[in-house]
Amino acid sequence: MADNDLAAYREEQRRRWLQRQSTVNGGTASSEGSPQPEATNIEAAQSSSAGTAAATGTGSPLVRIAPVQSNSGSSASGPSHHRMSSTSPPPPANRGTPKVTEEDQPLQKCHILPLGGEVNNLDALDQLNSVLKTLRTEKKAVRVDDVLEGKNKQEYIIASVLPKEGGIIVEPTEFFIEGPPVEKFTKLQLVCTDQNGEDNSEETLFS
């Protein structure tokens, strides 16, 4: 190859190399000069939240979630209402006083009167002694108008008790057999107001 041809070949190679360099440099400059994409909404929200925290002087969240203990023993972060429900106090129990029945309360005083006849007070105590002991052993409740039967088949009636609801006979119970006997009805007459009925004769009333 002649010297002129070699020089022309080198000049052509140099020109092509300069074109490639100018193309590469131009593309890089264009890329560097293009505007950057705007921040996403999430990044903007995060930046706004960080700015608000910085303005208030604290970076910690306003609501703290208490850790909840899992079954395996590890601590995990859970909703705060779970923590509140686990530590909330139980509802108050009903503390009303239970109603006392006659079978539960002891009898303090008992007034007994003969039913239908005169009886000596000392004789009455002797006749009722075994009956009252049986009632105390079996813990049967005694109430007003209860009728007791003595050893000689004489009947006695409970005139009053204390407490007035009645109760069971205990060792400290006091008995009183004082006062006139209570009349025992042998007949009861009923008067009919309907004049169209049968005659109000003794045979009709007590038949």
What DSSP string describes 72-115?
TS-EEE--HHHHHHHHPPPPPP--PPPPPPTTTSBP-EEEEEEB
Between 14 and 101, name the one with better pLDDT: 14
Specify the amino acid at residue 141.
Answer: A
CA–CA distance, 47 with 117 (Å, rounded to integer) = 108
CA nearest 173: which of 139, 207, 145, 146? 139
- What per-residue confidence (pLDDT) applies to 166? 94
Give the per-residue pLDDT at 138: 94
| 71 against 153, higher pLDDT | 153
Within a 10 A sphere around the Cβ of 161, how many other Cβ atoms? 23
Q: Which residue matches tokens 């009898």? A: 107
pLDDT of res. 53: 45
> Tell me, what amino acid is at 203?
E
The pair phi, psi for residue 76, each rounded to 5°, is: -130, 155
Q: Domain residue spans in the chain? A: 106-207
pLDDT reading at 148 higher than 60 = yes
> Residue 38: pLDDT above 50?
no
Q: What is the pLDDT of residue 117?
A: 73
Give me the chain's average pLDDT, please.
Answer: 71
* pLDDT tens profile 135-147: 999 999 999 999 9
* pLDDT level of residue 93 (50, 70, 90 thresholds): low
CATH assignment of 106-207, among 3.10.330.10, 3.40.228.10, 3.20.20.70, 3.50.50.60? 3.10.330.10
Report the pLDDT value the prediction gives residue 64, as an integer from 0 to 100.
45
Compute the average pLDDT of residues 185-203.
Answer: 67
Higher pLDDT, 50 or 5: 5
Higher local confidence (pLDDT), 166 or 98: 166
- In this model, does residue 156 exceed pLDDT 80? yes
Residue 30 phi, psi (nearest 5):
-65, -40
pLDDT in tens, 71-83: 555 554 444 444 4
Sheet strands side by side (includes 147-149)? 147-149, 155-162, 109-114, 174-176
Q: Report whether 115 contacts 127 (CB < 8 A).
A: no
pLDDT band at 61; cut points 50, 70, 90:
very low
Per-residue model confidence (pLDDT) at position 151: 82
